[in-house]
Structure 1
Amino acid sequence: MAASERILIVGPSWVGDMVMAQSLFKVLRQQYSDAAIDVLAPAWSRPITERMPEVAASIDMPVGHGKVMLKARWQLARSLAKHNYSRAYVLPNSLKSALIPAFAGIPVRVGWRGEMRYGLLNDIRKLDPIRYPLMVQRFTALAYAPGAYLPKPPEPRLVAQQDSVESLRERYGVNLKKPVLSLCPGAEFGPAKQWPAPHYAEVAKQMIARGWQVWIFGSAKDQPVAAEIAQLLATDAPVVSLAGKTTLADAIDLMSLSSAAVSNDSGLMHIAAALGLPLVGVYGSTSPGFTPPLGDAVATASLTLDCQPCFARECPLGHKRCLHDLPPAAVLAQLDRLLADNKGSVIESNMSSAQ
């Protein structure tokens, strides 16, 4: 592939999926070392793709999720046609997501069959969910010939913009005088993925007693649960709630300063893992057998009830036992193991930034 050629990726619409998509970008970089990889995705994802060294350009999708808007798609496609893309990989399974690469006349258009996209995709694959149980495998398999051996996908790794970290610490009033435990208690998908606030508070209490501080991350929707966690701790506890206060870009760069993280199965969980943090991911209605965190120092905590995983947004049985019955001690045990295995290297590295 010539150096002037480009690859277009039509990216997913969820934070976690976008992080996992980096594994595909890494494989394509291995296969086509001289090609530029551009990612077409919702504008909110730009802070993620801009922290992926494999991505040459981030292109904002001008059409909202679920909207067709053929004229807008056609106009963008004609603009993209000027870049002479040689290949396109369409990660969402919707028919709409395959329109722009087809309109742009990209010669090779690869994706899973999805919503009957014959004609829009010309390298269309039939997914075998047993062969590819993980989402990251489904992404990276598109880079190989159908039926080819699939090696272990490379792990995502986001590169925080460290040159802005000092100004961020001042802006949000945080410091690194103590090691930081990041908590991510929200879940955009729904409450069936949210570990109870008192459980998070108990983890925070135990870590604070060991000399740590706690930063709570999330969106504006997560401010109530963040406030509840803080209220369950002592009034002078070193806890900072950043939920709803940061941009996604700032959250990524600030979280990179952490020494460890505990998170629900959420986009922030995948970001924490991709930042290389020791991370415990808590699972309720979903399964680590489909979208596990990908990193060198990650663990998951979940029960094995007959009713899980149900993949529902809200508990169909109304009790959320998969989360309520998962004790803080189980998560702390996983976290302790990760920190012991890590031998404090992350803590020492991030604490040195406070000097």
Structure 2
Amino acid sequence: MIVYGRDYCAPRSVAYPLALMDWFVDRYARGRYKRRNFGPPDAVRPKILFMTSGHLGDALILSYIFPVVRQRYPDAVIDVLSGDWCDPIWQSNPYIRRVLHLNHPNTNRRNWSNLKKWQSFRQTFRSAVAALKTETYDYSVDIRFANSPLHFVLPFIRVRRAIGFGARGWGGLLDDEFFLPNGEFHHFTLLDELWKPLGISASIETIQPYFETPGLTAGQIWQKLGQPQPAGPVVLLCPEAGGTEKMLPTEFWLDVARRVLPDDTATLVLSGQTNFTATIYETLRRNHAVDASRIVSAVGKLTIQEMAVLAGASQYAVTLDSLPVHLCSIFCPTVAFFYNGMGLQFFPISARPTLVLHNHTASRELTIHRPDFQSEYVTTFDATTLDRAFEWIQKLVLKQ
């Protein structure tokens, strides 16, 4: 919604308060704030602070640009400011010098009271600013556009050129302020605008997704699961999503399993964090007692790094619109059911053959152009949709 010349990514009830706040922010920015002078950015060894208040998927997609930064600036220093819930993505990344935490209360999904979330915000804000003030950054890049940006920290730290989106406030603090395009877009394509002030360009067609899992082997994962490493193929099922509105019913996943188990050489692994997946696992073992030894629970047992290694040892994965689709599609052929999701915006940037079946009407004729990536619009998620998914699996995976 456009208010006083800014196109806010927000409904009227949020856009007008943001515009009022920005009236004051802009006046502060045009005064004392803009008179600060830290000199021009270092063109050889820039220090870059990447910011996000988002979650694991946002962090994973952001990390894809780090190798591109190093290609352009071999001696660049990369620091990250994010919620501490993103640490599983950052902890093994070889491009990052250090990670600082700022737990924004609006994106903190922990089962805490609002008071505790604000206390965490206050504590992490103070410690982050104290650490950041010891540096002068050549660039800051805040990738958050939907809500809760972090560039409100800019008056407290030293940054020569600040880049980000003004669509949810605080845009007056930015040297390069961007807004969302009209129509549908992919998250990474949108972020490409932010790299340009750094002299960097990366397209969704050619970017190389990656995730580091140093020192981990499939044998270690199976040992942790308390199972011998299977001699036959492994099929990974991830039935959970970040919101229940994106999840499909238990019967749907039981039908998926019924299509896998007739292959008496296959081991079926169910991965998740909640009782929803545990219930599917228990139901499958009751309904398929003769195959119980080939049905394995990884519920609440694996780290993200271990999950990635398991995906790399799998024949294929079946997931929803959540972190597992982005992770699995780096390491193994993946089918993803995007039920009530955001469509094109979060289609996975895959490195292996991937099929996305979605019901996002605005993305009906849209896709991303990557090798072996395919997306299809469906109106229902039923046996017919599963027929299509397993037709793709049979053609592109099992016959290879």
State whether residues 269 and 296 of structure 2, in contact with CA within 8 Å, keep that contact through their aligned partners in structure 1. Answer: yes
Alignment correspondent of 1:80: 132
- Residue among 71, 74, 84 paired with 1:33: 74
Alignment correspondent of 1:255: 311
Q: How far apart in 1 are the matches of 2:339 and 2:162? A: 36
Q: Deviations over 1:56-113 (max 9, x none)?
A: 3333335544556456424412312223322111122345511234422222211111
Q: TM-score, normalised by structure 2?
A: 0.71
Structure 1 gaps, min length 5: 310-319, 344-355
Alignment correspondent of 1:334: 392
Alignment correspondent of 1:239: 295
- Secondary structure of residue in 1 paired with 2:129: helix
Structure 1's 160 and 305: CA in aligned 2 closer, same or farther, altered over 3 A? closer
Alignment correspondent of 1:139: 191
Matched, 1:297 2:352: yes
Q: How does 1:105-184 map to 2 (within 5 A)?
A: 105-130=158-183, 133-145=185-197, 151=203, 152=205, 154-163=207-216, 165-174=218-227, 175-184=229-238
Structure 1's 63 and 227: CA in aligned 2 closer, same or farther, altered over 3 A? same
Q: CA deviation at 1:325?
A: 5.8
Figure out how many residues of one structure are paired with residues of the other and give that number: 329
Structure 1's 112 and 306: CA in aligned 2 closer, same or farther, altered over 3 A? closer
Larger radius of gyration: 2
Q: How does 1:294-333 map to 2 (within 5 A)?
A: 294-302=349-357, 322-324=380-382, 326-333=384-391
Q: Deviations over 1:263-319 (max 9, x none)?
A: 011111111113x2111111221254221121132333436587999xxxxxxxxxx
State whether residues 133 and 289 of structure 1, in contact with CA within 8 Å, keep that contact through their aligned partners in structure 2. Answer: yes
One-letter code aligned to 2:223: E
Alignment correspondent of 2:255: 202
- Residue among 55, 67, 70 paired with 2:96: 55
State whether residues 2 and 34 of structure 1, in contact with CA within 8 Å, keep that contact through their aligned partners in structure 2. Answer: no
Q: How far apart in 2 are the matches of 1:329 and 1:323? A: 10
One-letter code aligned to 1:195: L
Q: CA deviation at 1:158?
A: 0.9
RMSD: 3.2
Q: How far apart in 1 are the matches of 2:217 and 2:354? A: 30
- Secondary structure of residue in 2 paired with 1:10: strand
- Secondary structure of residue in 1 paired with 2:164: strand
Q: How far apart in 2 are the matches of 1:41 and 1:221? A: 29
Q: How far apart in 2 are the matches of 1:249 and 1:150? A: 26
Q: CA deviation at 1:181?
A: 0.8
Q: How far apart in 2 are the matches of 1:181 and 1:337? A: 16
Q: How far apart in 1 are the matches of 2:85 and 2:360? A: 36
Q: How does 1:99-110 map to 2 (within 5 A)?
A: 99-110=152-163
Q: How far apart in 2 are the matches of 1:76 and 1:301? A: 39
Q: CA deviation at 1:47?
A: 1.7
Q: How far apart in 2 are the matches of 1:145 and 1:6? A: 14
More moved, 300-309 vs 115-124 = 300-309
Q: CA deviation at 1:30?
A: 3.0
- Secondary structure of residue in 2 paired with 1:282: strand
Q: How does 1:275-286 map to 2 (within 5 A)?
A: 276-286=331-341
Structure 1's 53 and 154: CA in aligned 2 closer, same or farther, altered over 3 A? farther
Structure 1's 63 and 216: CA in aligned 2 closer, same or farther, altered over 3 A? same
Matched, 1:91 2:143: yes
Structure 1's 111 and 233: CA in aligned 2 closer, same or farther, altered over 3 A? farther
Higher RCO (C-alpha under 8 Å, 6+ residues apart) = 1
Q: How far apart in 2 are the matches of 1:221 and 1:102? A: 44
Structure 2 gaps, min length 5: 1-41, 108-116, 365-377
Structure 1's 330 and 95: CA in aligned 2 closer, same or farther, altered over 3 A? closer
Q: How far apart in 2 are the matches of 1:306 and 1:129? A: 16
Q: TM-score, normalised by structure 1?
A: 0.79
Q: CA deviation at 1:32?
A: 2.3
Structure 1's 112 and 261: CA in aligned 2 closer, same or farther, altered over 3 A? same
One-letter code aligned to 2:140: A
